[in-house]
Structure 1
Amino acid sequence: MTDPETPLDLLVVAPHPDDAEISVGGTILLSRQQGLRVGVVELTSGEPTPHGTPAIRQRETAAATEVLGLDFRENLGLPNRSLEHTLQARRALAGVFRRTRPQTILAPYWDDAHPDHVVASALCDAARFWSKLSRTDLPAEPFWPPRILYFWSIHLRIHPKPSLVLDISEHIETKMESIRCYESQVITDRSTEFPTILDDIRDRARYWGWTIGKGYGEPFASREEIGLGSLESLI
């Protein structure tokens, strides 16, 4: 997708295609409903996988993008399964931050079983800092994304306590629809007996919804204080 005409409110940094839908699909849909401009940048193609190809993953990503109604989506084409925190990768991601100028970055949580997710989290932190530096070869003007929140992936077995849980109850069905677009990853040659991987994803969202007295939720962590203008939003 082309660069947004105006800055994004929310930019999701996903290590692979389908990570955004699985981890924060409900948050994306809720944000779009509220009129926010939302984008996703993937670091890798996610390939190779047992039943995918680059062409298949591109088609699946395009279908999921349409379901989510994203304003921006881009893939940096970094190496899948061997993602590294190089200066080139940091520069590429910082360039996206400058071009899209998001108010909030959603990044992978820093502790994860998948090495690509761990590296992606560190890349987000470093690229956020680089994005604000002057006298560099980065495109566009220096920019400091004001806020970064971290999302859980399906690779975590023991979840840390989140800083906040967002109510996505109204959007759970569409979230699941966007995940099903990745047929090669979540349906093809997968067990159809309960619980399937789709059941697992939905049940995790149900658990997080239960923790806040809602139907479904998505959790986030923050290393920084979260400011509120009033307590009204908590009522």
Structure 2
Amino acid sequence: MELLAIVAHPDDADIFCGGTLAKHADRGDTVTIAHMTKGEYGGFETTEESVAATRAGEARRSGEYLGATDVTFLGFPDGRIEYSLENRLELVDTIREHTPDLILTHYRDDLHPDHRVTARLVTDAYYMASLPLVETDHDPCDPDNVYFFGKPTSSFDPSVAIDITGYEDQKAAAIAAHESQVSFLEEHGGIDGEFDNLVDGVAAEDTTLGKQTGVASAEGYVPLHEQAEEYLG
């Protein structure tokens, strides 16, 4: 099985689906993490280029903790991802390049604009990836399903909980590998105040969902097609 996680920024995959990715990699599945941006807005007192270089390096190291086969960057600008036909076709080609069975990405209801646009682009690109008359550099493919992850909100109510018991330490190490971003979020007040203790906070959320579903730790998803739930687990 091949999994493709398409995320807006370095650290998104680790926070939202790191346990699931590690679990599938441990099974021998192919796991690819594609970052829309390098997260160049996520830093203080430095240039965007410097932040991007640091965060890309951290993302590659975190991918090693999760057992990812490939960690790639799609070159979209942080904080400025736009919905357009051109960008949608780029995502179509990304999906076709990796020929995944399953795609993991952001849920449409999210405070961060990059997350919202990524969710829409990936959903529409998934629909178009199998159409033979949609021309891109790679041949059409037909992934089985898209699974959306997100922060607990009034509208994000996961119907699929993936047991990640035994993969908590890998996930924590992968998140901690984003050293510059962990520091940035802990220092950055306001809307990111919830990340005062990022690693422990994410672990607590996973434990809460786990208790609700009868396991020690879990990550939650909303599948695009309910009938294909059994593929992820």
Shorter-chain-normalised TM-score: which range?
Answer: 0.7 to 0.9
Shift of residue 223, structure 1, vs aligned partner: 3.2
CA distance in 1, matches of 2:22, 2:129: 27
Change (3 A) 1:49 1:195: closer
Matched, 1:113 2:106: no
Q: Give how far 1:158 is off.
A: 4.1
Structure 1 residues 119-130: aligned runs within 5 Å: 119-130=117-128
Equivalent residue number for residue 219 of structure 1: 220
Per the alignment, residue 35 of structure 1 pairs with 28
Which residue matches 2:61? 63
Residue 20 of structure 1 is matched in structure 2 by 13
Asked if 1:198 is matched to 2:199, the reply is yes
Partner of residue 54 from structure 1, selected from 52, 55, 60: 52
How many Å apart are 1:135 and its aligned residue?
A: 3.0
Instruction: Please state whether the residue corresponding to 1:160 is helix, strand or coil.
Output: coil
* Aligned position for 1:207: 208
In structure 2, what is the Cα distance between the partners aligned to 1:87 and 1:227? 28
Q: Structure 1 pair 189/203, CA: closer, same or farther in 2 (3 Å)?
A: closer
**Aligned AA (1:178):** A
Distance 1:131 1:227, change over 3 A: closer
Q: What do the CA deviations read for 1:176-231 (whole angstroms, capped 9, x no partner)?
A: 0000010111135836xx961222111111111111111110000023222478xx
The alpha carbon displacement at 1:161 in A equals 2.2
Give, as a single letter, the amino acid of the residue that structure 2 aligns with 1:44: T
Indicate the residue corresponding to 1:162 in structure 2. 158
Give 1 or 2: higher helix fraction: 2
Question: What CA RMSD, in Å, does the superposition of the two structures yield over aligned residues?
Answer: 2.2
Name the CA distance, whole Å, in 1 between partners of 2:155 and 2:182: 22
Contact kept in structure 2, 1:166 and 1:218, CA below 8 Å = yes
Q: 1:33 to 1:137 in 2, by over 3 A?
A: same
- Between the aligned partners of 2:63 and 2:159, the Cα distance in structure 1 is 28
Distance change in 2, residues 1:135/1:195 (3 Å): closer
| Other-structure match for 2:130 | 132
**Percent identity of the aligned residues?**
29
Q: Are the structure 2 counterparts of residues 197 and 162 from structure 1 closer, same or farther at C-alpha, using a change threshold of 3 Å?
A: same
Q: Which residue number in structure 2 is paired with residue 184 of structure 1?
A: 180
Secondary structure at the residue paired with 1:78? coil
Aligned-residue offset at 1:157: 4.5
Structure 2: 5+ residue stretches without partners: 45-49, 188-194
Contact 1:172 1:216 in 2 (8 A): yes
1:160 deviates by: 2.9
Deviates more, 1:80-89 or 1:22-31: 80-89
Q: Which residue of 2 aligns with 1:3?
A: none
Residues 129-138 or 168-177, more deviating: 129-138
CA distance in 2, matches of 1:159, 1:199: 24
C-alpha distance in 2 between matches for 1:126 and 1:146? 14
Counterpart in 2 of 1:83? 81
User: By how many angstroms is 1:108 displaced?
Assistant: 0.5
Q: For residue 38 of structure 1, give the secondary structure of its aligned residue in structure 2.
A: strand
Q: Mark the CA change 1:188 to 1:45 in structure 2 (over 3 Å): closer, same or farther.
A: closer
Question: Contact 2:5 / 2:33 at 8 angstroms: preserved in 1?
Answer: yes
Instruction: Give the conservation status (yes or no) of the 8 Å contact 1:83–1:119.
Output: yes
Report the AA paired with residue 151 of structure 1: F
Which residue of structure 2 aligns with residue 5 of structure 1?
none
Q: Give the SS at the match of 1:53.
A: helix
